[in-house]
Amino acid sequence: MIYEDDRVDLERSAFINPDVSDERSVGVRLVPKETDDRNAFKYNLAPLQDVERRVNDFTGPNLVYPYELPTLRLKGGKWVFEILIEGFTRSIVTPWESDWYEDSTVAVDHIDHREYLSNKYDLELVEPSKAITFVQAVKDEAEGRLREEYEKNRDRVEDLGESLDDAVTITKNSINKEVVGVFDSPETKAVPSSGGILAATSLEPGEHRLTVQGDDYAPYVERFELSAGGSYPAGVSGNLFVVPDDKAVKVGGRGSEGELERVKLTEDFAGPVYDSKVEDNGTFALCVHQAGRYTIEVTDSEGETGRYRINPNEDTDSIVIDDMRTGKSPQIQHLIEFLEDLIDLTTTLVDADTDADRNGQGRSRGNNRAENGKQKALTAKYEAARSSAERALSFAEDGRGDQANNQLGTVENQLEAAVNHLDSEGGQYADGVVVIISERTNQGLSYVDQAREARIE
* % of the chain exceeding 90 in pLDDT: 32
The verdict on pTM exceeding 0.85 is: no
Please state, rounded to an integer, the average pLDDT across all residues of the chain.
77
Domain-wise residue ranges, the chain = 2-45, 95-326, 329-453
Residue 429's pLDDT band (cuts 50, 70, 90): confident
The pair phi, psi for residue 418, each rounded to 5°, is: -65, -40
Contacts of residue 34, defined as CB under 8 A and 6 or more positions apart, other chains included, come to none
CB distance 8 to 16 below 8 Å: no
pLDDT at 18 over 50: yes
pLDDT at 451: 97
Mean pLDDT of 96-117: 70
- pLDDT of 327 strictly over 90: yes
Report the CATH fold assignment for 329-453. Answer: Butyryl-CoA Dehydrogenase, subunit A; domain 3 (1.20.140)
DSSP structural state of residue 420: H
> What would the mean pLDDT of 419-427 be, rounded to a whole number?
86
Percent of the chain with pLDDT over 70: 67
What pLDDT score was predicted for residue 33?
58
What are the tens digits of pLDDT across the range 27-70?
A: 445 555 565 665 555 556 667 777 778 777 776 666 667 778 88
**What is the C-alpha separation between 161 and 168, in angstroms, rounded?**
12
Please check the confidence at residue 442 and state whether its pLDDT lies above 70. Answer: yes
Burial letters 156-170, b for 16+ CB under 10 A, else e: ebebbbebbeebbbb
> Given this chain, do its domains 95-326 and 329-453 carry the same CATH topology?
no
Please indicate whether residue 51 or residue 153 has the higher confidence score (pLDDT). 51
Side chain identity at 75, as an amino acid letter? Answer: K
- The CA angle 312-313-314, to the nearest 5 degrees, is 140
Nearest to 267 by CA among 242, 295, 237: 295
Contact 238, 134 (CB under 8 A): yes
The amino acid at 164: L
For residue 280, pLDDT over 70 is answered with yes
Q: Model confidence at 16, in pLDDT bands (50, 70, 90)?
A: low
Q: 20-29, 245-254, 296-305, 311-320: which range is least confident on average? A: 20-29
Highest mean pLDDT among 166-170, 189-193, 243-247: 243-247
347-397 pLDDT, tens digit per residue, is 888 877 665 555 554 444 445 545 556 668 889 999 999 999 999 999 999
Give the model's pLDDT for residue 139: 23
Residue 89 is predicted with a pLDDT of: 63
Taking the domain 95-326, which CATH number applies? Answer: 2.60.40.2190
The number of residues making up the chain comes to: 457
Side-by-side strand order, sheet with 206-213: 188-192, 180-184, 206-213, 220-226, 271-277, 260-267, 294-300, 305-310
